[in-house]
Amino acid sequence: MAVLEVRQVSQIYGKKERRRHVLDRLDLQIEAGEFVAVTGPSGCGKTTLLCILGALLQPTSGEVWLDGQLIRGINEAELADLRAQKIGFVFQFPALLPTLTLLENILLPLTFSQGKGRSREDGSRAIKLLEQVGLAGREKDLPFTLSGGEQRRVAVARALINRPQILLADEPTGALDQGTGERLIDLLETLNETEGLTLVLATHDALVARRARREVKL
């Protein structure tokens, strides 16, 4: 069964002469455990599609299905729960909270999804994720002490803390050198293969597109 599906989805931004059709009756099915790269020129709608797939943006028309559930008429609180349980997001310009340590930043999504205190196990998992993204020992550091590429890797760890079923990542290797980018994709690929994490990555990076099992060109 498709874990994510859009049917005849269109997105139009702006009004009158500023109207801009970004997606035009797009159909797309993503099966559980797939590794998909969404590619296409700048401005073609990759970020828009990720936001629609992650139920952050309601499209102008068409249907969005998340894990067999039609995303329509669901109130914002339920939608937030659904997202918190099932989806990890890595945004193109990840925002870490500047006054929280890296560990606290990574643990933050648990506050919303569990609604309770964090366990020792959560802390160990966050530290392990930090190691996996190549930032071992930095858990007490504040975000401003990290480079842009390092902050992006923290954002990946933060997106994974909930053990999401689906990871939606916008240019996850942007701002990373080739070696670091490849190691990040290695990690995501391992999670895809061992834990069945469904990966949808929007990318300009031909290397990332080649590593995916399927490329969706917009």
Our CB check for ligand ATP shows the closer of 105 and 173 to be: 173
Return the number of the residue (90 or 106) whose C-beta is nearest ligand ATP: 90
What is the Cα–Cα distance from 53 to 187, expressed in whole angstroms?
22
Strand partners, 65: 5, 70
Choose which of 6, 46, 197, 208 interacts with ligand ATP (CB under 6 A). 46
Q: Is 47 in the site for ligand ATP (CB under 6 A)?
A: yes
Which window, 14-22, 107-115, 158-166, 206-214, contacts ligand ATP (CB under 6 A)? 14-22
Number of shown-chain residues binding ligand ATP (CB under 6 A): 12
Task: State the binding string over 16-35 for ligand ATP (x if CB under 6 A, else -).
Answer: ----x-x-------------
> Over 27-84, what HEC string results?
EEEEECCCEEEEECCCCCCHHHHHHHHCCCCCCCEEEEEECCEECCCCCHHHHHHHHH
Question: Contact between 45 and ligand ATP (CB under 6 A)?
Answer: yes
Rounded to whole angstroms, the Cα distance separating 91 from 141 reads 21
| Helices marked H in the chain | 46-53, 76-86, 102-114, 120-132, 148-160, 178-195, 206-211
Binding segment (CB under 6 A) for ligand ATP, from list 29-37, 43-51, 66-74, 124-132 = 43-51
| Residue 43 engages ligand ATP in binding (rule: CB under 6 A) | yes
Side chain identity at residue 38, one-letter code: V
13 binds ligand ATP (CB under 6 A): yes
Verify binding: residue 59, ligand ATP, rule CB under 6 A. Answer: no
Binding site for ligand ATP (CB under 6 A): 13-14, 20, 22, 40, 42-48
